[in-house]
Every structure is written in C-alpha cells, then in structure tokens.
Amino acid sequence: MSRLPELNEANLSPEQKSIFDDIMRVRGRVRGPFAVWLRNAELAEGTLKLQDMFASRVKMERRLIQLMILVAARFASAQYAWHIHEPHALQHGISQEIVDAIRERRTPNFAKEDERLVYDITLELFTTHRLSDRTFGRGMALFGEQQLVELVSGVGFYAMVAMTLNAFDVEVPDGKKPLA
C-alpha cells in the first residue's frame, strides 16, 4: 500500500488541476511518481516537462535511454519504474538477455559498445557519484557533449524518480514486484 492516499481530483487546487489535466493528456493517467509530485503543482509541472524531454526530445537514442532507466531502476530496486520501463526497453531493442542480467544484478554481455558504455556510466554515477577520467573520455568519444550531458542528466532525473517511488512506496499497478 502506498504511503500517500490516492489523489481526489475534486480536492485539487486550480494549479494542481491544470497539471493533472496535462499529465492526463500526456500519460493517460496520473500514477507513479506523478501522483506523488502533484502534491506540489510546480514540481509536477517541471518533472512532467523533464520526463517528456527524456521520452521524446533528446538526441540520445531511445534504446539507450531505456537501458539507462533500467540500470537506475535496478540499482535503486525501484519496482514501479522497472515494471513500467522493462517493456519499453525490450520494445526499443534492448535484448531480453541484457534485461534479465540487469534484473539479476549480473553484468550483461554486451554486443554493442554504446550499450556497454551507457551501463558503465550509469552504474559508475550511482556507485561513485562521479565519472572517472577514463569513463568520461569514453563517453565524450562515443556520444559527444550533448548526448553525454543528456545521459548524465537522465541518470540524475531517474535517481529522483526512484527515490520518490521508494520513499512513498508507490505500488506496482498489478501488485507484483518484478525485482527480488
């Protein structure tokens, strides 16, 4: 059970209602971290814009964004985020073998260098909170400035997503926890 009661649309302030309607238009429902963030309309508005940007307006390939999200979700054991993003990762071309390895906390056998680097960068940021000169150099060489900025910023955003989901014990829609 979530630590916060379900939002009652009738009790929302005008600012919250406006963002609620925006979330409904973009996502079809208000759940997950957005149901938490909507307690502060400005926070919900800003995070919706960030999520939308990572979903559709970054230069980095969707496949790599979804891989980063799975690594972040697994590192934080964010059940809800994993539940939502595992199908997206598979749909965008991350192999089932890689998804299974990440779920099981094993280092995947990557055939693609860009996937290996996204995994390495995401894990290094989560474990050390910085990038070594070597990893930074690899990132700049393969992705360039803009995509490396997008990736590092995405890691930070999805760390916030995971913390929000875990702190407020946001339930997985089907009640099953996909991560052990």
3-state SS, 82-98, equals HHHHHHHHHHCCCCHHH
Q: How confident is the model at residue 10 (pLDDT cuts 50, 70, 90)?
A: very high
How many residues make up the chain in this entry?
180
Residue 117 has a CB neighbour count (10 Å cut-off) of 20
**Amino acid present at 130:** R
- 33 shares its domain with 66: no
**Does the residue 78 lie in any domain?**
yes
**Does the residue 18 lie in any domain?**
yes
- 26 shares its domain with 51: yes
Question: Burial code of 123-154, b = ≥16 C-beta within 10 A, e = fewer?
Answer: bbbbeeeebeeebeebbeeebeeebbebbbeb
pTM of the model: 0.94
**Residue ranges making up the domain that contains 130:** 62-167
- 82 shares its domain with 159: yes
Digit-coded pLDDT (tens) for 37-52: 999 999 999 999 999 9
Rounded-to-integer distance, Cα 78 and Cα 76, Å: 5
